[in-house]
Amino acid sequence: MHLYERQAKAGGLLRYGIPDFKMEKHLIDRRVAQMEAEGVTFHTNAHIGVNVPVQNLVDEFDAIVLTGGSEKPRDLPVPGRELDGVHFAMDFLRQQNKRVSNESLGNAPELLASGKHVVVIGGGDTGSDCIGTSFRQGALSVTQLEIMPQPPEKENKLLTWPNWPLKMRTSSSQAEGAVRDFAVLTTRIIPNGKGGIRGIECVRVDDKMQPIEGTQFEIKAELVLLAMGFVNPVHEGMLSDLGVEFDPRGNVKADVVQYKSSLPKIFSAGDMRRGQSLVVWAIREGRQCAHAVDKFLMGRTDLPR
Ligand SMILES: Cc1cc2nc3c(=O)[nH]c(=O)nc-3n(C[C@H](O)[C@H](O)[C@H](O)COP(=O)(O)OP(=O)(O)OC[C@H]3O[C@@H](n4cnc5c(N)ncnc54)[C@H](O)[C@@H]3O)c2cc1C
């Protein structure tokens, strides 16, 4: 089996994205060594559709599984978005992973929270990781904004069971001292007159996420990190060159029995198929997909599902 990875080292988001303080990377090294010993060949710095044509893989292999994750970040189209100091969370987080493991940052300008007031826009896991990373870099303050209303302290079991209960949760990074504010919409990034930024302009929203008249306010910020989720996998390059079909949300279309895409011998699993999700789902889909591919290649399989 061959595993192609765009980055310098194997491991996906676990390696480049999830901060080292949350998951130490020697755990990935250990698993990669185990998989190599089992016969997997890893090809790193192989960006399919960019520096390796996807057709090479189609020509060479009997089955291909697309597991490139859901990497297209949701943007914030407001005046000032283009200013220096407004960055996607992943650009900030990946750089810190590289810094910790003494990898080159290439030609990218350094993104650091040191000595800055930081605003993180987006209240999920990625936002939390930006908070913890900013504090470790020496941020003066970190404010996290969420457009949704503040959830209740206790869930209403009658309304939510058996689904994941909606209630106020505090991640370990948030507990390190972030100021959290809810039902807030960012309307403008305020320039500092030197190409950078000095703050953001916001407004409070109602339960229909509509701005409430007269509630405008400003927050001081020299660094704004956008962590508002991911819309779907990157279509340009590998996926568009293949011409694979997408589902209505823009993920690669494949079912959860055969994991087959719209194209012959091409499968998909994990975030690239289901959208941005969790590690446990990626593991489950990877296993089920391995079962399906083994059956496709051999006509039968002993692999568990
Ligand atoms: C910042 C952050 C924090 C998170 N924290 C948690 C958490 O605490 N707990 C949790 O359960 N989940 C968390 N998640 C979600 C979790 O990381 C993902 O659901 C999971 O990693 C998905 O696994 P995957 O294998 O499908 O894709 P990924 O882990 O995204 O791996 C996809 C890999 O494919 C590579 N790739 C993409 N396109 C190409 C190409 N064209 N050529 C070659 N390689 C390519 C990418 O470089 C990447 O390495 C977090 C996500 C983010 C962004």
Over 90: is that where the pLDDT of 294 sits? yes
Same domain? 193 vs 223: yes
Same domain? 47 vs 136: no
Among 302, 234, 226, residue whose Cα is nearest residue 272: 234
Is 303 inside any structural domain? no
Is 192 inside any structural domain? yes
Domain end among 183, 204, 228? 228
Is 18 inside any structural domain? yes
Atom of ligand 1 nearest to the CA of 238: 41
Over 90: is that where the pLDDT of 186 sits? yes
**Phi, psi of 93, rounded to the nearest 5 degrees:** -70, -45
Over 90: is that where the pLDDT of 160 sits? no
Is 304 inside any structural domain? no
Same domain? 90 vs 156: yes
**How many angstroms does the Cα of residue 69 sit away from the middle of ligand 1?**
5
Same domain? 248 vs 210: no
Over 90: is that where the pLDDT of 12 sits? no
Q: Is 279 helix (H, G, I), strand (E, B) or coil?
A: helix
Over 90: is that where the pLDDT of 189 sits? yes
Q: What is the pLDDT of residue 182?
A: 96
**CB of 57 closer than 8 Å to CB of 48:** yes
| Integer CA distances (angstroms), 27 to 23, 31, 33, 132, in order | 8, 6, 10, 20
Share of the chain above pLDDT 70, in %: 100
**Residue 241 Cβ contacting ligand 1 at under 6 Å:** no
**How many angstroms does the Cα of residue 144 sit away from the middle of ligand 1?**
23
Same domain? 136 vs 171: yes
**Residue 275 Cβ contacting ligand 1 at under 6 Å:** no
What is the band of 159 on the pLDDT scale with cuts at 50, 70, 90?
confident
What is the band of 284 on the pLDDT scale with cuts at 50, 70, 90?
very high
Among 103, 78, 81, 102, residue whose Cα is nearest residue 203: 78
Q: What is the pLDDT of residue 147?
A: 94
Number of other CB atoms surrounding residue 35 within 10 Å: 15
Domain end among 207, 228, 249? 228
- Mean pLDDT for 253-278 is 97
In a 13 Å sphere around the CA of 90, the CA atoms on its Cβ side amount to: 15
Give the span between the Cα atoms of 274 and 234, in whole angstroms.
13
- Mean pLDDT for 213-235 is 97
* Number of domains the chain is built from: 2
**Residue 242 Cβ contacting ligand 1 at under 6 Å:** no
Q: What is the pLDDT of residue 161?
A: 84
- Mean pLDDT for 10-27 is 93
- Mean pLDDT for 145-169 is 87
- Mean pLDDT for 12-29 is 94
Q: Determine the residue of 56, 90, 279, 284 to mutate for testing ligand 1's pocket, defined as the one with the most ligand atoms within 8 A of the Cβ atom.
A: 279
The CATH number assigned to the domain holding 18 equals 3.50.50.60
**CB of 14 closer than 8 Å to CB of 24:** no
Is 213 inside any structural domain? yes
Over 90: is that where the pLDDT of 163 sits? no
Q: Determine the residue of 7, 13, 236 to mutate for testing ligand 1's pocket, defined as the one with the most ligand atoms within 8 A of the Cβ atom.
A: 13
Average pLDDT, the chain: 95
Same domain? 87 vs 217: yes
Same domain? 104 vs 221: yes
Amino acid at 283: I
**Residue 285 Cβ contacting ligand 1 at under 6 Å:** no
Domain end among 198, 228, 258? 228
Same domain? 94 vs 165: yes
- Give the model confidence (pLDDT) of 41-50 as tens digits: 999 999 999 9
Same domain? 123 vs 214: yes
Give the span between the Cα atoms of 109 and 25, in whole angstroms.
24
**Residue 69 Cβ contacting ligand 1 at under 6 Å:** yes
Atom of ligand 1 nearest to the CA of 23: 8
Is 181 inside any structural domain? yes
Q: In this predicted model, which residue has the larger pLDDT, 151 or 117? A: 117
**Residue 12 Cβ contacting ligand 1 at under 6 Å:** yes
Over 90: is that where the pLDDT of 99 sits? yes
Give the span between the Cα atoms of 136 and 159, in whole angstroms.
39
- Mean pLDDT for 9-17 is 89
**How many angstroms does the Cα of residue 278 sit away from the middle of ligand 1?**
9
Atom of ligand 1 nearest to the CA of 16: 49
Atom of ligand 1 nearest to the CA of 126: 1
Atom of ligand 1 nearest to the CA of 273: 26
What is the band of 269 on the pLDDT scale with cuts at 50, 70, 90?
very high
**Residue 119 Cβ contacting ligand 1 at under 6 Å:** no
Place of tokens 């994991």: 259
Number of other CB atoms surrounding residue 95 within 10 Å: 21
Is 305 inside any structural domain? no
What is the band of 166 on the pLDDT scale with cuts at 50, 70, 90?
confident
Domain of residue 52 covers: 2-71+231-298
What is the band of 158 on the pLDDT scale with cuts at 50, 70, 90?
confident
**Residue 72 Cβ contacting ligand 1 at under 6 Å:** no
Same domain? 273 vs 192: no
Q: In this predicted model, which residue has the larger pLDDT, 195 or 216? A: 216
Atom of ligand 1 nearest to the CA of 11: 49
**How many angstroms does the Cα of residue 279 sit away from the middle of ligand 1?**
8
Same domain? 163 vs 272: no
**How many angstroms does the Cα of residue 282 sit away from the middle of ligand 1?**
9
Is 272 inside any structural domain? yes
**CB of 19 closer than 8 Å to CB of 132:** yes
What is the band of 164 on the pLDDT scale with cuts at 50, 70, 90?
confident
Over 90: is that where the pLDDT of 165 sits? no
Same domain? 135 vs 163: yes
Q: What is the pLDDT of residue 128?
A: 97
